[in-house]
Amino acid sequence: MSANALYTGLSGYYDLMCVDIDYRAQSNAIRRLHQMFGNGGTTHLDLACGTGPHVRHFIDAGYQSNGLDINQPMLDIAAARCPEAQFTRQDMSHFEVGEPSDLITCFLYSIHYNDGIEKLAACISSVHRALASGGIFCFNAVDKDKINNDLFVKHTAKQASDLFTFRSGWHYSGQGEKQSLRLSIEKANADASQVWNDEHPMVAVNFAELIALLAPYFEVHVFEHNYETIKPWDTTSGNAIFVCVKK
């Protein structure tokens, strides 16, 4: 099953899968970074926006916020959550906008859904074209050389009579430009249980390679992956927040 097919089939459970994510804290942190590095504008585009929780927080903070995703059922949920926003079904590797944005975001490591370096480079070029003068691009990423294939995260959540168990973890073979996100979803109740397993292909890149891809288009600033405190990246951790100011 492809990543898009999995998310299409389980789009109604996506918010439950992400129930432990603090969307407000993430949105607030990026707004602070935008205030520090941005051009003072308030137009915003969220790439791989999913069901729109980040867009909701940006709208509530006074932004004119819109979203883009490849998955239409996700966008349908996002449109109901954020009727003020415009959502378009596009691939973030190659997308077009009618008007430039002051801020473009890509949360939840979704930048890695560009499957391969060529598509990642195309995404970066598309973002540069879509940004207003002095606009910024903010996203989080994982360094392929720091991935521990034995680590995974797990949480459970209840919906009506069903108990869901979600597991996810990165996997990298140690060579090449492909890594994967391994995902398992179990749905159980008193009568039966179902399990979905999938391995989503994603781009693998280390931070030196990523900065080299960004540098022709942006002034790049890298911060620790901490949405509570803004701290420069310590150059050793394998997760980071990138703030990229359009040249």
73 has pLDDT over 60: yes
Q: Determine the pLDDT at residue 8.
A: 47
Output the CA torsion sign for 94, 100, 204, 198: negative
Run of H or E including 172: strand 162-172
> What does the domain layout of the chain look like in residue ranges?
3-144+204-246, 145-203
Tell me what pLDDT residue 93 has: 96
Answer whether 47's CB lies under 8 Å from 105's CB: yes
CATH number 3.40.50.300 is the correct assignment for the domain at 3-144+204-246:
no
Burial (CB < 10 A; 0-12, 13-18, 19+), residue 36, is exposed
Residues sharing a CB contact under 8 Å with residue 229, sequence separation 6 or more, in sequence order: none
Contacts of 183 (CB under 8 A, 6+ apart): 6, 166, 167, 168, 196, 197, 198, 199, 200
Residue pointed to by tokens 């995260």: 153
Condensed to tens digits (0 to 9), the pLDDT of residues 185-223 reads 898 999 999 888 888 899 999 999 999 999 999 999 999
Average pLDDT over residues 135-141: 98
pTM score, whole prediction: 0.92
What was the pLDDT predicted at 13?
67
17 or 192, which is more confident? 192
In tens, the pLDDT along 35-64 reads 999 999 999 999 999 999 999 999 999 999
**Assigned CATH topology for domain 145-203:** S-adenosyl-L-methionine-dependent methyltransferases (2.20.130)
Query: How would residue 5 be classed by pLDDT, with cut points 50, 70 and 90?
Result: very low
Using 50, 70 and 90 to split pLDDT, how confident is the model at 12? low
Confidence band of 180 (pLDDT split at 50, 70, 90): very high
- Judged against a pLDDT cut of 60, whether residue 3 lies above it is answered with no
